[in-house]
Structure 1
Amino acid sequence: MIKMVVSSIKLNTGRSIPGVGFGTGTSFFNRGDAVADVVKHAYQAGFRSFDCARIYGTEEGLGRGIAELGVDRSELYVTTKTPDWAWSKETIVAEVEGCLKRLKLDYLDLVLHHSPAPRIGAKFMATYLTPEEIKNLPDPLDEAVMDTCRLQMWLGLQLCVEKGLVRDIGVSNFTVNHLKKLLKNPEVTITPAVNQVEFNPYIVDSPIQEYCKQTGILLQAYAPLGNGKDMLLSDPVLERIGGVHNKTAAQVALRWSLELGHCIVTKTEKFDRMKENLDLFNFTLSREEIDQITALNKNKRNFPDPSQFP
């Protein structure tokens, strides 16, 4: 078996993160056993970075899969995300401690906060919270309230770093507005290492891309191939460029994200597709090809627009 070599990207903390990660969201939701089974295949394909989240219901499965690998912890990079209902220092620390127990790990490489505000109408909320608990969540559309909540959330993540529970911390689905307001607070002593956002050739979020670049925050693209059901994977521009490099349209789209300086999180349950998603480091795109792919932008989101939250 040919071993895939996955390049890493340097974070603003001096540590590095693998350029391509294996995600356990969307179709894996609450399918911990499936995740446990697929980890071995992902590792064999070459993945060393694994991404999960409290709301996915996959932490225990990922932890079991990792334990069954029997490899040294230092070989792996594990990311999880704290949930929409954790908005105080205390609840953030408790959530991270709970994540570590479910994953059966001593530390996490990266913890992101999943959303800039509670997604009250989301289906997963009813899975974890009672109607009364949902009712008592902070108002996601109250700007002053959420500014305070985001600060307290971040102070909790900073405390997790101090406690040695987490090496690096970041956010997910944060807009330029959310980041600017957070970073201007003097109590914020750690700049987010990562902002994980929806990003692919059909949703090129230039403002957040530029702001992350300016502030040294690594943009991590989720849904880098769209939802797998739209026309992205059969886009004629991607297919034409793929033909030049003897690559698939998917590989061209993923390589494009890497060329822009982002890291990516992919998801598949098929071993051949896992290998395909990692076979990205033996070709490069020209400046003209990168610009042609960027020009495909349709501002097409498959997930809710986080700018709805002030």
Structure 2
Amino acid sequence: MADPSPESRTPRDPVAEAADWFALHDAGTLTPEQQLAFQSWLSESAENRDAYAQIEGAWAAFDEVRADDVPAGGSPSRPMRGRAAQRASAPSRRRLGVLTLAASLVVLAVLAPELMMRLQADAMTAVGEVRELPLPDGSLAVLDTNTAIAIDFRQDDRRVALLKGRAEFVAAADADRPFSVLAEGGTATALGTVFAVRNVGQGARVMVTEGRVSVVYGDSRSAPERLVTAGQSVDYTAGQGIGEVASVDPFAASAWRHGRLIFENRPLAQVIEELNRYHLGTIRILDAAIGRRLVSGTFPLREPLRAVDALEASLGIKSTRIGDFLVILHS
């Protein structure tokens, strides 16, 4: 990485300079001279200060569980060292015990849902992984990135719970045992078909490629039913219930199965949200106006940073990257 100090740099984009300064701070390698140069750079313009604040905010959003939130276990991060030293000098064992308990509760709150899901799941995929999974009855499940399912096949029915993510199902015919997928309080029952179910916020989306699917949201016998056929989808959410059936492009909607993502006149913010599902890190947009720009194209889902390269070229925008994990898009 180039030294961003004034005597060594040529004029550059403020966001790129801010990323360099942030990386030096994060590594803890600033010399006293560089610290003075950093303060001078900040004082040069409000644009520099805004760029550095945006970099800090983007990194904080990426690093969701900071060492500041979990003070126990391992060495404290640089921002904690002063406070940690003060704590270490305090003679109160009770305070240390309270801090340790608080840290344990924070870790538990963060990890408990994921641990519970892993205990329930029969199959999972990692971020960026897409995998075909044959089911015991001859059906096929295709698991998208960061997806988990639980399988419950009985003598009178076949049920799959989508715990998170998205999966497509090719249901084997069996008139005596219905094939259903349960997700977020709704049930999609195949009527000899190929269909996908995706968790969306507090609800789910069912999209049919072949055949028909009966979709019901809620537990009661009077819950409304939607019959969804090939080339159609339906959403349901908590609070709003089940929506109306809508037309979709089945080729574009199932392109992820073949390693591609297809968008037509979609806002860049939505495209980046989708790419983030396949990226082991985060891609963020600093300028809301950029996020509203419309995108059409086909992108490789297994190489989301190549997609970012293509978006930069086609939209005339820039990216600043801290490694491959944090990518910031800006004008």
Normalising by structure 1, report the TM-score. 0.27
Point out the structure with max Rg over C-alpha. 2
Q: Which has the higher contact order (CA 8 A, sep 6+)?
A: 1
Normalising by structure 2, report the TM-score. 0.25
Pick the structure with more strand per residue. Answer: 2
